[in-house]
Amino acid sequence: MIDKKGIKEIVRRRYGEIAAKAKGEGATSCCPSSSCCTSEEACSALALYSPQDLYGLPSSVTEMAMGCGNPTAIAGLKPGEVVLDLGSGGGIDVFLAARQVGPTGKVIGLDMTREMIDLAQKNAQKVGAQNVEFRLGEMEDMPIEDESIDVIISNCVINLSPDKDRVFSEAYRVLRPGGRMMISDLVTEGDLPPVVRQSVEAWVGCVAGALDKRDYLEKIEATGFVDLKTRVEEFTYPGGADAEEEIYQWVVHIDVEAHKPA
């Protein structure tokens, strides 16, 4: 059995390795098969973002696009808002959000992996982003002040947490009254086989930690969020027709909008 602490350390170590590769400290590819991106093709930022989104971003940002959606495209961000990105990785969603909130706004990227924070900070210098900040910390215990955030975004990261109740509770705490949460994530429709739930590679690959869609939404509502809106899309496994593909028959991509009461 893999316990919660073990899961977090496995995920932290694996994504630290990905960040190191992106900085040229290992193999040239920053997108191994055991990340939420399951192939080089899936890691292409063009699969998720428009050319306009990607304009002006260096490869050290775009090649780290390991999510499953584009939360900044659906968040309706406004100038002056304060945004928090959970699991910010190399920073792509932070930089896109920073453009939208403008110089009077601010975007904070939160990641539990030191190597990712270091990479994102270097990327911020390359991009010249002045209204961004990256903080080292965990989603289950956010180093963020109470009621200080207007919008929370997250891109295929909450599924990696072994304690999603705590993540949603923390999200509720840091949001201002009337604030909103916009999530792109992977969930399941049906039960995963126990062998998958206990697979290290399936955890790192965003499958083993994916909740049933109904359970996922119920946890958000139980925290106190209201006015949930969802969009569910079939998740197409980007690899070839092999045995691993069978795991993904239960998996779908979901976008969730939820609000903290004013």
CB 118 within 8 Å of CB 89: no
Mean pLDDT, residues 26-48 taken together: 50
Give the residue among 91, 130, 131, 82 at the shortest CA–CA distance from 110: 91
pLDDT-wise least confident of 51-60, 65-74, 171-180, 206-215 = 206-215
Mean pLDDT, residues 191-218 taken together: 79
Range of the structural domain that residue 92 is part of: 4-259
| Model pLDDT, residue 1 | 60
Mean pLDDT, residues 30-58 taken together: 67
Helix (H) or strand (E) holding 187: strand 175-188
More confident: 209 or 28: 209
Residue 192's pLDDT band (boundaries 50, 70, 90)? confident
| Model pLDDT, residue 26 | 39
Judge if pTM exceeds 0.85. Answer: yes
Mean pLDDT, residues 64-69 taken together: 87
| Model pLDDT, residue 143 | 98
Mean pLDDT, residues 17-32 taken together: 57
Report whether pLDDT(27) > 50: no
Q: How many domains does the chain have?
A: 1
Residue 161 belongs to domain with CATH number: 3.40.50.150
Report whether pLDDT(202) > 80: no
More confident: 5 or 236: 5
Kindly report the average pLDDT of the chain as a whole number. Answer: 85
Report whether pLDDT(32) > 60: no
| Model pLDDT, residue 36 | 56
Distance of CA 20 to the CA centre of its chain: 19
CB 107 within 8 Å of CB 97: yes
Report whether pLDDT(107) > 50: yes
More confident: 3 or 214: 214
Report whether pLDDT(229) > 60: yes
Radius of gyration of the chain (CA): 17
Phi, psi of 110 (to 5 degrees): -115, 130
